[in-house]
Amino acid sequence: MASSHSPDTLSPEARKAADALWEAEQAGVPCPPVRDQLPAGDVTAAYAVQRHNVERRLAQGRRLIGRKTGLTSPAVQRQLGVDQPDFGALLSDMTVPDGGTVPHRRLLQPKVEAEVALVLATDLPHPETTLADVLRAVDFALPALEIVDSRIVDWDIGLVDTVADNASSGLFVLGGTPVPLTAVDLRTVRMSLTRDGEEVSQGTGADCLDSPLNAAVWLASTLAAMGDPLRAGDVVLTGALGPMAAATPGSRFEATISGLGSVRVGFAPPAPDQKAEQQ
């Protein structure tokens, strides 16, 4: 992961924020917001924190396999007072197989959202990436579930918090049937997300920056301008098509996206000894 911010160049405040998020994940106990530890509204510092903790994970042997965009909903952007998305890293240990189950306590405060995933066939190296560039570069699309999580207590986050916290990334699930872009209009797809058979979220492709492809154009341009472009084989999670829903132990989710198919995941209930600990 290319970066002009080596661990040694982090400011003391950024290092403190990075350590707080890292320790929260390791201990399984959310930490207070980190926004007060960084200069007010300093997104650059927040991305430096994100890079530092991603590089820690890479040093442990994990592999960078793609990126995610967040804040693609205009309503969420207004809520946080921003006018563009953010991004985070997808690592090899963040994947869950379609129909798989997330172990109990694997995440701190999981929520689920449905989105379109793109898998690239070629690099996207240009800071002024165009829609045509993305259309040429995408190998296929898949339905996806992103299981977002926050290392910050009670999801008490602002923009700086979520950027520093790897864009509130947790895990993700990809559907298993690739669909070429020539076979689907991503702007008009319709999404339905159910929890235990009851619909908890719905939306369309247009709810993600007017099209998931627009999110991919923004992400590719932003990363290329930072000297860390999207590469062939990368997975791109383009952003939620509808509101996220809280995950509870024992619950099961399924998302159906028209033209792309469906994708499923479950959350394990606590083991008997864990139930006893909670009583």
What is the chain's mean pLDDT, rounded?
93
- Is 186 strand, coil or helix? coil
CB 246 within 8 A of CB 111: yes
Residue 253 has pLDDT above 50, yes or no: yes
Give the model's pLDDT for residue 278: 53
Phi–psi pair at 117, nearest 5 degrees: -105, 140
Predicted confidence band of residue 275 (pLDDT cuts 50, 70, 90)? low
Predicted confidence band of residue 77 (pLDDT cuts 50, 70, 90)? confident
Classify residue 211 by burial, with Cβ atoms within 10 Å: 0-12, 13-18, 19+: buried
Give the model's pLDDT for residue 7: 45
Q: What is the mean pLDDT of residues 136-163?
A: 96
Q: Which of 75-79, 142-146, 150-154 has the lowest mean pLDDT?
A: 75-79
- C-alpha span between 74 and 61 (Å, rounded): 36
User: Nearest-CA neighbor of 184 among 258, 107, 130?
Assistant: 258
Q: Which of 81-85, 112-116, 214-218 has the lowest mean pLDDT?
A: 81-85
Could you tell me the pTM of the whole model? 0.93
- C-alpha span between 113 and 146 (Å, rounded): 5
> Cβ–Cβ contacts within 10 Å for residue 20, how many?
19
- C-alpha span between 117 and 168 (Å, rounded): 17
Give the model's pLDDT for residue 83: 78
Q: Which of 3-17, 40-54, 85-99, 150-164 has the lowest mean pLDDT?
A: 3-17
Classify residue 63 by burial, with Cβ atoms within 10 Å: 0-12, 13-18, 19+: exposed
- Is 190 strand, coil or helix? strand
